[in-house]
Amino acid sequence: MTGLQLANLDDFLARRWEDVVELALQHLAAVAISLALATAIGVLIGLLVWDRPVPRSVSLTAAGIAITIPSLALLALLSPVLGLGWAPTIVSLVFYSLLPIVRNTVVGLREVPGHLVESARGMGMTPAAVLLRIQLPLAWPVIVTGIRVAAQLTVGIAAIAAYVAGPGLGVYIFRGLSSLGSVNALNFALTGTLCVVLLALLIDGAFVLITRYSTPRGLRA
Amino acid sequence: MPDPTAGVGIELSDVTKRYPGQEHGAVEDFSLRVEPGELLMFVGPSGCGKTTTMKMINRIIEPTSGSITIDGEDVLSLDPNELRRHIGYVIQQIGLFPHMTIAENIATVPKLLGWSKARVADRVDELLRTVALDPGVFAHRYPKQLSGGQQQRVGVARALAADPPVMLMDEPFGATDPITRLRLQEEFRRLQADIGKTIIFVTHDFDEAVRLGDRIAVLSERSRIEQCDTPANILADPANEYVAGFIGRGAGLMRLALIPIGEVPLEAPDDSSAALGVQDSLRDALDLLVLTGGQRVNVTDESGSVAGSLTHAGISAALGAPRLPTGTAP
């Protein structure tokens, strides 16, 4: 039985590859948009709290707790407010991305050696200039690592978004799961799953390049 | 007319730094005047408050009370960032920015002051040459590609970038190996002879203080000034036990190193001994006497002709030691 259905996978893909590419691109778009938003918000939160012990532990703890909320539950909670489709998808992905990004921003900024900050202040840089021109560039490799972790996390979670009629490859996975026993059930689920894994690998590969080229030359190993 | 970039006077009056919850201040009632163009050394053990005192001048640490003026201007009334752009600052860890090239590092303050690109580029080249680094080779390197000694030179060049009248240096050569340190000190001494900045230089190394300082302030707990005088005077006449203890052994040799042979009376030469020049120090003369085992060492003047000779007794006399009649030792 399995043999028969896998033999059909070729045929299945041949008939639907345009559809698959479309879903994969949606999936990628959802992840990319969420990461961009989460990076902007997360780095900003990190910049605001890294040097203040109480806000820092509050935000890291909050983000830590947030990430334990099951994604299905979060989507179910969001959809009455935000409806279906892209909105709850993006919001939930941003939500899950924040922890690694905020945490790595805080860690990265804290790891900048104190004498470099003192040196910059001693030359008359304003606190904002010290933050933007010294601390942030030096913390950047650590922050990018946080974004990369967030990317891996959200590629997987984005598949669940199909539950609220969201975009992406989850559509195939859910279609397969909801039609178990039908001819193409396994093809749908398998195609969706494999494409998610493939996408995750591609994105991770992209991050190797992003990390390399966005790291200031003097800091590269 | 004074050179606008040469040093200016610094005056600290009753400067105190007290941290909350501490019984004693880290620095208490510190008063001192630094003359224009003077290289003043703060020497003292770790934790005596010497660095804290220095960092209050550029307000990296804000004084709790007291006043600090540079060239008559009250630093506490100035914008701290603007103030710091006109004070060169070198720290022990050097603090070169690893993500910027050497040229970008040196250009930091000139850029903050809004210099034109061409002026900044010229200045970077000039400074790299001043600290004996070829701009063609080093300008576009990153700090990690330089040796410790080279990084330290760049640190000094960066502090000099906008030609500040005042420099604060916190154990700038402390992290380098002894040989590099000696070379950096020698270069720095020559540099200072040219540029004549007003410099406060913090160190815990008394030898370094003697080698570089115009005056030395020997500090104890809470930045108390035990003695502030020229190296020669401190070595010859330590104010108290604390200063004497800090100098440790070898004060005589350190003093000899400060006195050129040309400053002491010479005796008649003898034809068999080795020779030194008048610009060499008495320490060099003693060294040669010990090495050769001879009675005296000949001294030649600038033209190279023999001007006289020195004996052990003559060298001792220069330190004010009682001069023993030659040849009557028991």
| pLDDT tens digits along A70-84 | 888 888 888 888 888
Query: Which three-class secondary structure string do you get for chain B?
Result: CCCCCCCCCEEEEEEEECCCCCCCCCEEEEEEEECCCCEEEEECCCCCCHHHHHHHHCCCCCCCEEEEEECCEEHHHCCHHHHHCCEEEECCCCCCCCCCCHHHHHCHHHHHCCCCHHHHHHHHHHHHHHCCCCHHHHCCCCHHHCCHHHHHHHHHHHHHCCCCCEEEEECCCCCCCHHHHHHHHHHHHHHHHHHCCEEEEEECCHHHHHHHCCEEEEEEHHHEEEEEECHHHHHHCCCCHHHHHHHCCCHHHHHHHHCEHHHCCCECCCCCCCEEECCCEHHHHHHHHHHHCCCEEEEECCCCCEEEEEEHHHHHHHCCCCCCCCCCCC
CA distance B30 to B42: 12
- List the single range of A71-85, B96-110, B271-285 with lowest mean pLDDT: B271-285
Asked if the Cβ–Cβ distance from B97 to A134 is below 8 Å, we say yes
Determine the pLDDT at residue B164. 93
Ordered by start, the domain boundaries in chain A are: 2-216
In three-state secondary structure terms, A49 is helix
**Domain A2-216 class, CATH top level:** mainly alpha
At A4 the pLDDT is 47
Average pLDDT over every residue of B5-24? 88
Task: Give one DSSP letter per residue of A134-155, joined into a string.
Answer: IIHHHHHHHHHHHHHHHHHHHH
CATH for B259-318 (3.10.580.10, 3.50.30.10, 3.90.1300.10, 3.90.1720.10)? 3.10.580.10
* Contact status of B114 with chain A (Cβ, < 8 Å): no
pLDDT mean over B283-299: 86
B68 and B34 in contact (C-beta within 8 Å)? no
What DSSP state is assigned to residue A68? T
Task: Decide which of B229 and B296 is more confident.
Answer: B229
CB A108, CB A100: distance < 8 Å = no
Phi, psi of A60 (to 5 degrees): -70, -40
Strand partners, B16: B65
Least confident of B36-50, B148-162, B209-223, B269-283: B269-283
Closest by CA to B2, choosing from B40, B37, B33, is B37
Mean pLDDT of B153-175: 92
Instruction: For residue B114, count other CB atoms closer than 10 A to its CB.
Output: 7
**Beta-carbon pairs below 8 A across chains A and B:** 71
| Among B325, B249, B314, B323, residue whose Cα is nearest residue B286 | B314
| pLDDT of res. A123 | 95
Q: Kindly report the nearest CA distance between residue A64 and chain B, in angstroms.
A: 32
Strands of the sheet containing B27-34, edge to edge, are B27-34, B10-17, B65-70, B73-74
CA distance B163 to B18: 33
Q: In this structure, is the dihedral angle defined by the CA atoms of residues B313, B314, B316 and B321, taken in order, positive or negative?
A: positive
Q: Could A124 and B142 be called an inter-chain contact, meaning their C-beta atoms sit closer than 8 Å?
A: no
Residues 6+ apart with CB under 8 A from B215: B38, B39, B40, B41, B228, B229, B230, B231
Which residues partner with B297 through β-bridges? B310
Query: Distance between CA B64 and CA B19 in Å, rounded?
Result: 8
Q: Is the pLDDT higher at B312 or at A133?
A: A133
What was the pLDDT predicted at B273?
64
Taking only the tens place, the pLDDT of each residue in A1-15 is 444 455 577 777 878
Give pLDDT, residue B23: 85
The beta-carbon neighbor of B93 closest among A115, A218, A219 is A115
A48-57, A174-183, B157-166, range with the lowest pLDDT: A174-183
The closest of B201, B186, B202, B172 to B90, measured between CA atoms, is B172
d(CA A70, CA A172): 21
At B9 the pLDDT is: 92
Q: Within 13 Å, how many C-alpha atoms sit on residue A30's CB side?
A: 36
**Beta carbons of A136 and A55 less than 8 angstroms apart:** no
- Residues B160/B127, Cβ–Cβ less than 8 Å: yes
Give pLDDT tens digits for A147-181. Answer: 999 999 999 998 888 888 778 888 888 888 888 77
Nearest of B140, B50, B71, B54 to residue B101 by alpha carbon: B140
Q: Is the CB of A217 less than 8 angstroms away from the CB of B142?
A: yes
The CATH topology of domain B10-254 is Rossmann fold (3.40.50)
Question: Phi, psi (5° rounding) for residue A220?
Answer: -70, 145
Under the banding of pLDDT at 50, 70 and 90, the label for residue B305 is: confident
Q: How far is A105 from chain B (nearest CA, A)?
A: 17
User: Residues 6 or more apart from B155 whose CB is under 8 A from it?
Assistant: B90, B91, B94, B95, B96, B172
**Lowest model confidence (mean pLDDT) among A41-55, A147-161, B120-134, B278-292:** B278-292
Mean pLDDT of chain A: 88
Interface of B with A in 161-220 (CB under 8 A): 168
d(CA B182, CA B253): 17
Angle at B244 between CA B260 and CA B216, to 5 degrees: 55
**A200 exposed, middle or buried (CB, 10 Å; 0-12, 13-18, 19+)?**
middle
B36-55 in b/e form (b: 16+ CB < 10 A) is bbbbbbbbbeeebbbbbbbb
pLDDT of residue A215 exceeding 50, the answer is: yes
Q: What tokens does A92 get? A: 């939930």
Chain B residue with minimum CA distance to A115? B95
Give the confidence band of B21 by pLDDT, cuts at 50, 70, 90: confident
Task: Give me the phi and psi of A68, to 5 degrees please.
Answer: -85, -10
A125–B contact, CB cutoff 8 A: yes
What is the mean pLDDT of the segment spanning B231-248? Answer: 89
User: What value of ipTM does the predicted structure carry?
Assistant: 0.81
Mutate to test the interface with B, among A112, A123, A133, A136 (most CBs of B within 10 A): A123
Considering CB atoms only, which of A123, A129, A134 is closest to B89?
A: A123
B93 close to A (CB below 8 A): yes
Q: How confident is the model at residue B1 (pLDDT cuts 50, 70, 90)?
A: very low
Buried b (16+ CB within 10 A) or exposed e, B81-107: bebbbbbbbbbbbbbbbbbbbbbbbbb
Residue B327 predicted with pLDDT over 50: no
Minimal CA separation from A128 to chain B, in Å = 12
